[in-house]
Structure 1
């Protein structure tokens, strides 16, 4: 019940700041459920970049969720694989926390903090390193799937940086 109230408050705050907000369930990141589109008068975003910026913002949230789901499907019976999966999940969680910080800044009409952008990049890079370290041949297909989804997430993040 409290979560529903929180969703409504964030959506209302975003609407007051001239932003379009919607609920996006992200299974792995319980705290990351609100997606807001920045106001059109953003200082860094030109009119030509508004649509690509907002598309990339939406895509990074959704691809991060699918990456987390793919990492969760990797069999962790092997201890080394389990440690790498734990590290990958920690990186994805850190990236999600950075995205949450950016979203909260946008909701309040502020600029996304550079430290939060760095946190997203570092988290994604850490997840990538962890997945690259998995050598168990029995999970190679699941790891390849997670790496593919992570590559898409990184590309979407680069799109946000380029367009926003």
Structure 2
């Protein structure tokens, strides 16, 4: 669910990253106010953008699990600085079909480039002693996952993998 901003992006979709990020941060703060617990933010695809930006507006993100995000913040960005200054553990998940996609399909190269930004983020963050991993599911022996891995037949395996990461990395 996203707030209705009344705006139309250059892609023809109503989406304002800043507005969504602020609404997300307010929701995270409300969860904290009600429970006293920080939130584990699970993002997916385009929803990854507001997740990074939300870290600028709340101190209550316990971790970020980014499932095939549309990229990661550059090391010189405000989003990156917010995540690193707050020492938020981050993990990225990628399924099949990125390395073996048809190169004549534009999306193949696009996803390879977006995944590369996640590797760049992870490298920069771990150099600063941050906790960040990139999970390439096929390299872990988990195959059969597309962009919507939470809907795939082995979604329970993915959920277990994410839960294990949370157990081992979130305080």
Using structure 2 for the length normalisation, give the TM-score.
0.30
Question: Higher helix fraction: Structure 1 or Structure 2?
Answer: 1
Per chain length, whose mean CA-contact separation is higher, i.e. which structure has more relative contact order (CA < 8 Å, sep 6+)?
1
Using structure 1 for the length normalisation, give the TM-score.
0.31
Question: Higher strand fraction: Structure 1 or Structure 2?
Answer: 2
